[in-house]
Amino acid sequence: MIGRRRAGRHEIPAHAPRSAVVTGAARGIGEAVAAELVRRGYRVLVTDLDATAARATAERIGAAGGLAHDVTDPAGAHAVVAEARRLAPLGAWVSNAGVGFDGTVTELSEAHARALVEINLLGPVWGARAAVAAFREQAAAGVAHGGEIGVTVSLSALGPVPGLSVYAASKAGALSVVSGLASEVRREGIRVHAVCPDGVNTDLLRGMKPGGQAQALVRSGTLVTTEQVAAGLVGMFGTSRVYRTIPAWRGALLRLTALAPGPALRLEPAMRALGERKARSLRP
């Protein structure tokens, strides 16, 4: 039948409404992703540690609702999925919530080191597990087939970034999870994607130590907009593409530094100086 597809013994409209969850979506990249999904017809649930901000953002962008969500809690991810499925069958889960504490491996506090791993790496793991469980339940019940999982990663996942070593490691781990999971669930119609943007002018970047090594290195690249990141991630939905870098040339450069970190890191002082000059040029 034209315009319909089969799932089990039930026929499902090809364009039936689906729900979507975006974590850390009260502001910044998450808000932009949520807004993009709203434009594409999803019934979006905005989640954030700040419930009031999540609800305000949901109202502003026309999302279906907003609620508090701590991504370090595995049970919390399942509870959020249940809320989304009350709106419509789950169609997409986007793990965007993240922290960007900067500092060298020896400088970083224990609390910040743990938070980087628990939020940036384990957060997407718990989200993916809850989403995949929902997609499988929906398929078994003939309600809907497959779905999309998206993760906001970072260019730092692709190579060494002095001053952001633990942050970069947490993002590299998240990208590895995305790549492995994409292969594990692809036969079920579940597609998994990651977007790896260069620096984005959000609270995360502004919260880094002013004039510090990490902030200067990030600013040495190309600052991209939250809308570019959102379009890049959601644009992969429905495709087999696992990840993309924004801009593409910076991704290629970071991959080269990973292949030859010794020679590449000798360029660090020059890159840091470039970032500091860019930062000065932006000051009023």
Q: Distance (Å, rounded) from C-alpha 152 to C-alpha 217?
A: 20
Residue 161's pLDDT is 82
Residue 274's pLDDT is 37
Residue 71's pLDDT is 98
DSSP assignment of 146-200: -EEEEEE--GGGGS--TT-HHHHHHHHHHHHHHHHHHHHHGGGTEEEEEEEES-B
Q: Distance (Å, rounded) from C-alpha 226 to C-alpha 228?
A: 5
**100 close to 167: Cβ distance less than 8 angstroms:** yes
**144 close to 91: Cβ distance less than 8 angstroms:** yes
* Residues classed as catalytic: 167
Per-residue pLDDT of the chain (284 residues; tens, 9 = 90+): 233 333 333 333 345 689 999 999 999 999 999 999 999 999 999 999 999 999 999 999 999 999 999 999 999 999 999 999 999 999 999 999 999 998 899 999 999 999 999 999 999 999 999 999 999 999 999 999 999 999 999 998 988 788 889 999 999 999 999 999 999 999 999 999 999 998 776 666 556 565 555 554 555 556 789 999 999 999 999 999 999 999 876 656 666 565 555 555 555 444 443 333 444 444 44
Q: Distance (Å, rounded) from C-alpha 283 to C-alpha 114?
A: 33
Angle between helices 122-140 and 165-185 (to 10 degrees): 20
Domain residue spans in the chain? 4-208+223-260
Residue 199's pLDDT is 75
Residue 266's pLDDT is 53
Domain 4-208+223-260: CATH class, spelled out: alpha beta
Residue 66's pLDDT is 98
Maximum CA extent, the chain: 64
Q: Distance (Å, rounded) from C-alpha 63 to C-alpha 248?
A: 31
13 φ, ψ (degrees, to nearest 5): -55, 135
Residue 257's pLDDT is 65
Residue 280's pLDDT is 41
Q: Distance (Å, rounded) from C-alpha 32 to C-alpha 123?
A: 19
Q: What's the distance, CA 219 to chain centroid?
A: 20
Residue 7's pLDDT is 36
